[in-house]
Structure 1
């Protein structure tokens, strides 16, 4: 949804693939309706309330795994224009001619009761998780964009491309949680630098190619022509120019298209091309060029001109101006055709659509000072009752699933205060178990000890939960439901939970424990190195444990090899020691004898 004509494909070259920690400690505005619609298209099999299930896991992962602070935005009452466009979209998808079924004026833009009930259930769920929820006056992406432009949030999560038209600065379209770079992020600054388009330019493109409030746009104008057309005007002039063209005023041609007719070209006028030689293709006559070569061919003597190759184009001033004149005529004819198509469109452009995109009052707060966004802690007991009623999940399973979220909140609180020492009122921080690498990013595996020392009954496994809800996911949709389930371990009658935590967060909350962990790791490394050295010393008792340089190494190797050969020869020929000794003497070079390299040089010289 959003701007028509495959608008995302136009922006795709300017997208950034951000890393795992991109959303760490960032405030994120989430279009909740987009999540619910995406859930419906992603899950094909019958499950129990998939919108609640995936919203639950996505919220936990967005908060704990990616470290974001989500703000959920809910749609208000859309404009009647969107209701008409929605009905037209339904007619078109059903193969019904829209002209045969007139769309009545004043049709209610409210969604159906089923979708509204799903939204309300998801709102209740995220509120129980402690997340703030804001309701927009109209479109949710409009309020997301306003919060982003005013600095209340850092990023918007939505697939509606018209968020940029509402003023968004940074938009995340989709997630890839199984990738080292999971976020496909679009920045308005990159779009301005790459395409040269600003907010009003994008609004003009949406008016030409269609949008959620006017699906048709201007007949015969696609995204490429719309982009080329709006770039001919400045941001302050484009909307005013569309109004003039819509009224029939197509006489004014943009400066970048208008031809400089007043240029003094002398005899080389575009309408009067100089005669050219048919043989070499340069200015002049063939008769003259056969006798003497022209200045363009640069031939010596009286050889004449060279024959022009295939696809030859003369570079003289007259030909250049002629080609420029033809190109200019082509641009002017193209511009005239675009203006003619715009002028034929009735009531173009629709002023209410422009005002809606430029409006900066999309929420139920009068100013930035009246908006206070706060994040609370999950209401665990009410959350358990809610999910047990709607999803039929066991309380132990729910507690285990929300444990990563609670541990993240606990670690954040420990950086500012030490009032609470127990997580869930039952678990205490035990130690840092190890460093874990996941999707190319490192985490601390934190060990949480049950304070009472009792054995905690394990929650239902992944297989048992899958038996309750059989899910078939669409692989083309990126989901945030890659759950990070805590592992349950038992040791000496005590129960432990292992969770993956952000390294910076753990280091800020428990600096002494992290310091002790790395000291232990360094001690283990030294012990491992000492054991390896001991093994090497036992394997070679004569070695001194010192690494030799290359000269000493090869010298010692030659000596050992000579001694081995001497020993082998003495064992084989015990009775012929004299002869063997004479052979060794002969092999030993005399000090006065020249070396082989010197003798070789003397020989070849």
Structure 2
């Protein structure tokens, strides 16, 4: 879901993938996986599957999109979520309920032959299982791509790595990493390319967008602490929907009037079980780790081919072609270029 602060962000710089060449980017792994699960589908919304019914849409997205990043000279570091904070349980329950409702509407649309509606609801109906997560980690390891296990929220860990300078930016469709302090956020990285507009036979080009935290703060005349307060007022994954009657513009006015969180939250109708100061402190000081390695490793090509083709029924010809590209990317990135870039 993510925090809804898009109205505050006007300074977006459109990029080409070539503009990010030579950079290490920390991707919110779960955000990326859900993008692949939503987009890699058949016309009726059914995900890619093996003959045994195993969903492989996410496997496809992780493998082919990551190979393309490497080909472009980008080193992605996938950051996986760890233990969720206790006050996120409400959001998790809401997501489960939303998926169940979407699944019912997906089946109804299929029954009446409305493929457009079916595809729309199918995108929200499926979940990332533990098996899919482990398979994706295996694919990335066999590709030689770094993965990081966060102790808590993946976006918090990605922001921590960016603040330390170990990666150039974070990547996600959500804005949360800005609240966690990431100096740069790239959106649309995992969905770059042609995209069909909902309900229309119209396709548009989607390019990566760079958002810089300092520009957002300066344009709005606020601090990162005030940005966190705005996020809490309009709603985060920890207080879904935000405070009733307060949108982004009103929230901006309030944080400029009441600069201390204790003053602000004592003056708004707070109706959530979780203490707002606890959410505020979590964004400021989330659990993170320095136990990670962002270096690219040599791909294990034979094992990767077996895993993709024999275990998950991908096209052998196409997988071999991509593995050759991965090997070439590794040679390029580790043959002097890596050291000179970083």
TM bin, normalised by shorter chain, reads 0.7 to 0.9
> Within 5 Å, which residues of 2 pair with 1:451-530?
none
State whether residues 148 and 168 of structure 1, in contact with CA within 8 Å, keep that contact through their aligned partners in structure 2: yes
CA 1:377–1:222: 2 relative to 1, 3 Å: same
- Where does the alignment leave 5 or more consecutive residues of structure 2 unmatched? 50-55, 102-125, 195-203
Q: Deviations over 1:349-385 (max 9, x none)?
A: 523212211115323x4xxxx5443210110010011
* Greater CA drift, 46-55 or 120-129: 46-55
- Counterpart selection for 1:37 from 30, 34, 37: 34
Secondary structure of residue in 2 paired with 1:218: coil
Q: 2: distance between equivalents of 1:135 and 1:344? A: 34
Find the counterpart in structure 2 of residue 70 from structure 1: 76
**Aligned pairs (5 A) from 1:139-178:** 139-175=153-189, 176-177=192-193
- The alignment status of 1:196 with 2:221, answered yes or no, reads yes
Aligned to 1:220, the other structure's residue is in SS state coil
Residue in 1 aligned with 2:8?
Answer: 10
Aligned twin of 1:528: none
For residues 252-308 of structure 1, the C-alpha deviation after alignment (integer angstroms, 9 at most, x for no partner) is: xxxxxxxxxxxxxxxxxxxxxxxxxxxxxxxxxxxxxxxxxxxxxxxxxxxxxxxxx
Q: Note closer, same or farther for the CA distance 1:203–1:224 as it changes in structure 2 (3 Å cut).
A: same
- Residues 1:210 and 1:414: Cα distance change in structure 2 (over 3 Å): closer
- Distance apart, 1:82 and its partner CA: 1.1
User: Which runs of 5 or more residues in structure 1 are unaligned?
Assistant: 96-111, 247-338, 417-503, 506-605
SS of 2:326's partner is helix
Once the two structures are TM-superposed, the CA of residue 228 in structure 1 deviates from its matched residue by: 1.7
Q: CA deviation at 1:39?
A: 1.6
Task: Give CA-to-partner distance per residue, 1:31-78, whole Å, 9 cap, x none.
Answer: 11111111222122342211101110111001112x111111111111
User: What is the DSSP-based 3-state SS (H/G/I as helix, E as strand, rest coil) of the residue aligned with 2:22?
Assistant: coil
Tell me, yes or no, if structure 1 residue 135 matches structure 2 residue 135.
no
* Shift in CA distance, 386/201, structure 1 to aligned 2, threshold 3 Å: same
**Equivalent residue for 1:19?**
16
- Show the 5 A alignment for 1:356-375: 356-363=282-289, 365=290, 371-375=292-296
Structure of greater Rg: 1
Deviation at 1:83, TM superposition (A): 1.5
Distance, in Å, in 2 between the alignment partners of 1:229 and 1:375 is 46
Give the distance between the partners of 1:349 and 1:137, measured in 2 at CA. Answer: 22
Q: Give 2:297's aligned residue.
A: 376
Partner of residue 60, structure 1: 67
Q: 2:298 aligned with 1:388, yes or no?
A: no
Q: Map of 1:128-527 to 2, 5 A cutoff?
A: 128-175=142-189, 176-177=192-193, 182-233=207-258, 237-242=259-264, 246=266, 339=267, 342=268, 345=271, 349-363=275-289, 365=290, 371-415=292-336
- Matched residues in 1 for 2:308 and 2:229: separation? 46
Change (3 A) 1:394 1:214: closer
Q: Give TM-score scaled by structure 2 length.
A: 0.77
* Contact 1:155–1:170 (Cα < 8 Å) also in 2: yes
SS of the residue corresponding to residue 245 of structure 2 reads coil
Say whether residues 1:82 and 2:102 are aligned partners: no
Residues in 2 aligned to 1:143 and 1:113: alpha-carbon distance in whole angstroms: 23
Cα 1:415–1:350 shift into 2, 3 Å: closer
TM-score in terms of structure 1 length: 0.45
The answer to whether the 8 A contact 1:130-1:378 is kept is yes
Whole-angstrom distance in 2 between the partners of 1:358 and 1:345: 22
User: What whole-Å deviation, never above 9, does each CA across 1:531-563 have from its counterpart, x for those lacking one?
Assistant: xxxxxxxxxxxxxxxxxxxxxxxxxxxxxxxxx
- Worse overlay, 407-416 or 78-87: 407-416
Q: Given the superposition, is the C-alpha separation of residues 57 and 77 from structure 1 closer, same or farther in structure 2, using an over 3 Å criterion?
A: same
Instruction: Compare the two structures and name the one with the higher helix fraction.
Output: 2
- SS at structure 2 position matched to 1:402: helix
Give the CA deviation at 1:91.
4.9
The 3 A distance-change label for structure 1 pair 359 and 136 is same
Residues 180 and 20 of structure 1: is their aligned pair in 2 closer, same or farther, counting only changes over 3 Å?
Answer: farther
Q: Is the 8 A contact 1:78 1:139 kept in 2?
A: yes
**Aligned 8 A contact 1:73 1:136 in 2:** yes
Per the alignment, in what secondary structure is the counterpart of residue 156 of structure 1?
Answer: strand
C-alpha contact (below 8 Å) 1:17/1:181 kept by paired residues: no
